[in-house]
A = this chain, B = another copy of it.
Amino acid sequence: MRGADRVRKLLIVRPTNSSNAQDGRSFIETARRGQIVEAAIETLAEVGYAKTSLTRIAARAGISQGLISYHFSSKQDLMEQVVTEVNADMERFVEARAGDADDHAGTVKALIEGFVRYCADRPAGILAVGQIENAEGWAAEARERSIADFEQLLRGGQEAGEFRSFPTRLMAVTLLAALEAVPGELRAKPETDPGVYAAELAMTFELAVHRTGR
């Protein structure tokens, strides 16, 4: 299995059990929903969850408040949609740029680089999702899924003899945390070169996981 496949497998979009995954939407409905989600993302990234009201989102989208309720059954429904769409978008992005690494170390590196580049390209989405997960208390579920994915990759590296022995869960948690810090850092220091950031992060985890001695 080549790296691209590994990343693809890792980032596969999981079906949501909530009711907003139904299809059979008209073109206009899909467009409106997208517009609202976009406005929500921008608002969340800009002012934070606490100050993000439906009124504010509607104002940003240039539509009436009522229309949001027409398209989303509740504020929570909209927030779920934001999380789903951003995750799907990010996964598509990362997968597309995943290198053709043929070992696990390369896959980790590709993953990190893809994510950092995504954050540099479209920082609002990740910031928005961070706000939502934190505020709504959904961090736990989302985290578990990501952690499980990372663990699988790390365990694969250990089994292939590439990585040293370590508790995969803790390393996965740490890797996830390091990635989650990226958009905030890029916002705090916009002059940061994403390439350097990605390379440094990749190096850090390469050193942390690779098999020592030999």
Q: Is A170 part of the binding interface, using a Cβ–Cβ cutoff of 8 Å?
A: yes
Closest beta carbon of chain B to A194's beta carbon, Å: 11
The answer to whether B134 and A200 touch across the interface, beta carbons within 8 angstroms, is: no
Closest beta carbon of chain B to A203's beta carbon, Å: 7
Q: Using a CB-CB cutoff of 8 Å, which residues 33-92 of chain A contact chain B?
A: 47-50
B130, B177, B188, B196: which contacts A143 (Cβ < 8 A)?
B188
Q: Using a CB-CB cutoff of 8 Å, which residues 155-214 of chain A contact chain B?
A: 166-167, 169-171, 173-174, 176-178, 180-181, 184-185, 188-189, 192, 196-197, 200-201, 203-205, 207-208, 212
Contacts of A50 in B (CB 8 A): 49-50, 135-136
The answer to whether A204 and B135 touch across the interface, beta carbons within 8 angstroms, is: no
Number of copies: 4
The answer to whether A174 and B188 touch across the interface, beta carbons within 8 angstroms, is: no
B135, B184, B192, B208: which contacts A207 (Cβ < 8 A)?
B208
Q: Is A28 part of the binding interface, using a Cβ–Cβ cutoff of 8 Å?
A: no
The answer to whether A49 and B135 touch across the interface, beta carbons within 8 angstroms, is: yes
Closest beta carbon of chain B to A58's beta carbon, Å: 14
Q: Is A21 part of the binding interface, using a Cβ–Cβ cutoff of 8 Å?
A: no
Q: Is A139 part of the binding interface, using a Cβ–Cβ cutoff of 8 Å?
A: yes
Residue of B nearest to A210 (CB): B207
CA distance A169 to B188 in the complex (A): 12
What are 10 A-B pairs with beta-carbon distances under 8 A? A50-B136, A130-B134, A139-B184, A166-B204, A170-B185, A170-B197, A170-B201, A174-B181, A176-B181, A207-B212
Contact surface of A with B, Cβ cutoff 8 Å: 47-50, 130-131, 134-137, 139-140, 143-144, 166-167, 169-171, 173-174, 176-178, 180-181, 184-185, 188-189, 192, 196-197, 200-201, 203-205, 207-208, 212
Q: Closest 5 interchain pairs by CB?
A: A177-B181, A177-B177, A204-B208, A174-B178, A50-B135
